[in-house]
Amino acid sequence: MDTNFFFNNLPKKYRTSYRNFYTYQNLIAMRAASGVFLLINVIIRILYFVFPVSLTKAQNFPEFNTSNWIFLAITPLFLAASYLLILDFKKRQKGTQLMAFTVFLFSLYIITCGMYSSFITTSDPSNALTLYLIALCLISAICVLEYYETFMLLIAVEIFFTALLLYSQVSPTQMLYNQLISVILLSAFYLISRYFFTYKANSYQQVLQIREKNELIGKANEFKNQVLGMVAHDLRNPIGAVESIAMMMELDDDVSADTQENIDMIKASCEKARSIITDLLDAAKNENNTQIATERTELNQLLKAAVSGWKTEKKVQVVFTSNVNPVFALINKEKFFRVVDNLVSNAVKFSKDYDRVDVRLSQLNKEVVIEVQDYGMGIPAQMLPDIFTRFTKAGRTGLRGEKSTGLGLSIVRQIVESHNGTIKVESAEGRGSVFIVKLPLG
């Protein structure tokens, strides 16, 4: 906590916005406190009418009676002023000198009310400090005041306190004793008031700093996505040109075995580069678009179509089974097809030759459950927490040398969560993995 605020002001960068913020909070506190204080005095006045005999015999009843009428007359003015100034603040969206001065007057009013009540309880206020102390604590807690406003308030309160002592005609010894107590109370009031100012100022400053950092992060993220989009778009054209040249070279009848091997390597590299570009673009798009267009879709047909694309995979058998037909969910067909394809691709990548990958569809209560299970190398336990995080050590090379971009599973999670679904993985090293996707029934 920055203790400089005890005798200083907020840094200029945040000063105006913080003053506007606490001015509004002060007005709300003033409205609440004046409403409560008015209610207390109304109750006291009602009690005077209900129990007149008992209360009128109390010590210093005339003074209490007079002060009660004064409080009933003045407090509604502060209550009305707080309502009007709150409306004015909402229109202006900033604090004014009138608002600050009104809060200052209200603070002085509440403290002097407590002080005067202590005086009329007994001629020696040092024996009845409760109301004075409550008033000081209340104002120090609910009102945020600048250090110079606090000093002015202390001077005004001390002048009023001295005037009451002179009016009470106390002895010089009592005068000194009471002044000493008042100085102690006002010193405590200043420290408590500045403590609350410091606490609230630091909290406000931290909120603003977090907001500024979030804005910077948002701008940096937007810039990153723009650059990513431009780079990916500009890379596609030269990659496509290289692939076209490789395909034209294949048409030559005099292509040797070595040349054909090089051409195949070029085509495979181009295909891999296109896959990386697609992953990068999908990561950026899914990050920016939390809401997607969905339609009610029968999942058996979609999963069959996704699995059929892997029929040409000779080394690993991909099998689809379902125990519920039909079953519907609200999904984006294109994006969810990518989810299934990515999970199957991941399973095939880490499966041994002639292994099997199971894609299962079922229903549990009001959820659709899709499972993609392989029986390959599995995922080490220390990698599981990072499996859906992009660009982490969880990205591994496949059993046949397939490279990982570190984006596939993070994209899958983004898409699943944008469908109000969940995804988790269960794995044991050496026994394979199962990815479980759950979606609401459509």
* pLDDT bucket at 217, cuts 50 / 70 / 90: confident
* Last residue of one domain, picked from the residues 178, 199, 216: 216
| 246 lies in some domain | no
* pLDDT bucket at 366, cuts 50 / 70 / 90: confident
26 is written with which tokens? Answer: 């002060």
- 102 vs 204, residue with greater confidence: 102
Instruction: Report the C-alpha gap between 227 and 234 in whole angstroms.
Output: 10
* pLDDT bucket at 390, cuts 50 / 70 / 90: low
| 47 lies in some domain | yes
- Residue 171 has what pLDDT? 77
- Residue 1 has what pLDDT? 43
Average the pLDDT over 392-399 and give the result.
Answer: 54
Going by C-alpha positions, the residue among 70, 60, 143, 58 that lies closest to residue 100 is: 143
State yes or no: pLDDT of 6 exceeds 90.
no
Least confident piece of the model among 62-66, 232-236, 327-331 = 232-236
| 422 lies in some domain | yes
Q: What is the CA radius of gyration of the chain?
A: 38
Backbone phi and psi for residue 363, each to the nearest 5 degrees, phi listed first: -130, 135
| 270 lies in some domain | no
Verify that 11 and 157 share a domain, yes or no.
Answer: yes
| 262 lies in some domain | no
| 181 lies in some domain | yes
Residue 30 and residue 78 in contact, taking contact as beta carbons nearer than 8 Å = yes
- 238 vs 30, residue with greater confidence: 30
Is 358 exposed, middle or buried, given 0-12, 13-18 or 19+ CB atoms closer than 10 A? middle
Percent of the chain with pLDDT over 70: 83
- Specify the number of domains making up the chain: 2
Average the pLDDT over 319-341 and give the result.
Answer: 87
Going by C-alpha positions, the residue among 365, 316, 349 that lies closest to residue 435 is: 349
Least confident piece of the model among 167-171, 271-275, 365-369, 391-395 = 391-395
* pLDDT bucket at 5, cuts 50 / 70 / 90: low
Verify that 200 and 343 share a domain, yes or no.
Answer: no
Verify that 208 and 340 share a domain, yes or no.
Answer: no
State yes or no: pLDDT of 31 exceeds 90.
yes
- Residue 99 has what pLDDT? 93
- Residue 235 has what pLDDT? 74
Verify that 198 and 334 share a domain, yes or no.
Answer: no
Going by C-alpha positions, the residue among 372, 355, 356 that lies closest to residue 306 is: 372
Residue 335 and residue 415 in contact, taking contact as beta carbons nearer than 8 Å = yes
Q: Is 363 helix (H, G, I), strand (E, B) or coil?
A: strand
State yes or no: pLDDT of 395 exceeds 60.
no
* pLDDT bucket at 3, cuts 50 / 70 / 90: very low
pLDDT tens-digit series, residues 81-127: 999 999 999 998 888 999 999 999 999 999 988 888 877 765 455 55
- Residue 268 has what pLDDT? 73
The rounded mean pLDDT for the chain is 81
State yes or no: pLDDT of 391 exceeds 80.
no
- 396 vs 329, residue with greater confidence: 329
Verify that 86 and 191 share a domain, yes or no.
Answer: yes
Q: What is the DSSP letter of 311?
A: T
Verify that 304 and 181 share a domain, yes or no.
Answer: no
* Of the ranges 33-42, 195-204, 371-380, the best mean pLDDT one: 33-42
Biggest distance spanned by C-alpha atoms of the chain: 124
Verify that 200 and 306 share a domain, yes or no.
Answer: no
State yes or no: pLDDT of 66 exceeds 70.
yes
> What's the Cα-to-Cα distance from 141 to each of 8, 109, 115, 442, rounded to whole Å?
19, 16, 17, 53
Least confident piece of the model among 31-40, 163-172, 228-237, 407-416 = 228-237
Verify that 27 and 173 share a domain, yes or no.
Answer: yes
Determine the structural domain holding residue 109 and report its residue range. Answer: 3-216
Residue 318 and residue 359 in contact, taking contact as beta carbons nearer than 8 Å = yes
| 34 lies in some domain | yes
Verify that 21 and 122 share a domain, yes or no.
Answer: yes
- Residue 284 has what pLDDT? 63
* pLDDT bucket at 56, cuts 50 / 70 / 90: low
Verify that 302 and 204 share a domain, yes or no.
Answer: no
State yes or no: pLDDT of 306 exceeds 90.
no
Backbone phi and psi for residue 84, each to the nearest 5 degrees, phi listed first: -65, -40
Question: What CATH code is carried by the domain that includes residue 359?
Answer: 3.30.565.10
Return the residue matching tokens 């945040």.
14
- Residue 36 has what pLDDT? 94
pLDDT tens-digit series, residues 135-190: 888 888 888 888 888 889 999 988 988 888 787 776 788 778 878 888 888 888 88
State yes or no: pLDDT of 425 exceeds 80.
yes
- Residue 87 has what pLDDT? 94
412 is written with which tokens? Answer: 């899958």
* Of the ranges 128-137, 164-173, 282-291, 338-347, the best mean pLDDT one: 338-347
The b/e string for 78-111 (b: 16+ C-beta within 10 A; e otherwise) is: bbebbeebeeebeeeeebeeebbebbbbbbbbbb
296 is written with which tokens? Answer: 């009610």
| 157 lies in some domain | yes
* Last residue of one domain, picked from the residues 152, 183, 216: 216
Instruction: Report the C-alpha gap between 129 and 137 in whole angstroms.
Output: 12
Which pairs from 407-412 meet CB under 8 Å and 24+ separation? 407/279, 407/280, 407/282, 407/283, 408/279, 408/342, 408/345, 408/346, 409/342, 409/346, 410/283, 411/279, 411/282, 411/283, 411/286, 411/338, 411/342, 412/338, 412/339, 412/342, 412/343, 412/388
Verify that 198 and 300 share a domain, yes or no.
Answer: no
Instruction: Report the C-alpha gap between 110 and 107 in whole angstroms.
Output: 5
* Last residue of one domain, picked from the residues 189, 216, 243: 216
pLDDT tens-digit series, residues 220-266: 777 777 776 676 667 777 887 887 888 888 777 777 877 878 887 88
Verify that 178 and 324 share a domain, yes or no.
Answer: no
Residues in contact with 372: Cβ distance below 8 Å, sequence separation at least 6, in sequence order? 340, 343, 344, 346, 347, 357, 358, 359, 434, 435, 437
